[in-house]
Amino acid sequence: MSHELIEKEYKTNDLYFAAFLQAAGCVMKDTNREGSKFFFIFVDTGGLDKLKIEYFGRRGKVVALDYADCIQGLKALVHS
């Protein structure tokens, strides 16, 4: 019997949500530029839906300095 692990991905072009995901411990797998839009691609291990609901419901909790650092890092990545 063969088992194949298929890695799911989550893609967003929202820099602040991407920074929240990073600060929450999600792994960013890649980035992709499509025209004028820049996308952040995360490994989806099953918890991203819950984090999305918490973030957009204004209930998400991360360490403020980690979030600020992630914003700065992603902005640098976008503008490099």
Instruction: State pLDDT tens for residues 33-68.
Output: 999 999 999 999 888 999 999 999 999 999 999 999
Query: For a pLDDT cut of 90, what percent of the chain falls above it?
Result: 85
Predicted local confidence at residue 61, as pLDDT: 97
Give whole-number Cα distances, 24 to 5, 38, 46, 52, 69, in Å: 24, 21, 13, 11, 12
**Which residues lie across from 39 on neighbouring strands?**
32
Q: Which two tokens stand for residue 80?
A: 């490099």
pTM over cut 0.85: yes
Which whole-number Å values give the CA distances from 52 to 4, 24, 34, in the listed order?
Answer: 27, 11, 23
Is pLDDT of 12 > 60? yes
- pLDDT of 3 over the 80 cut: no
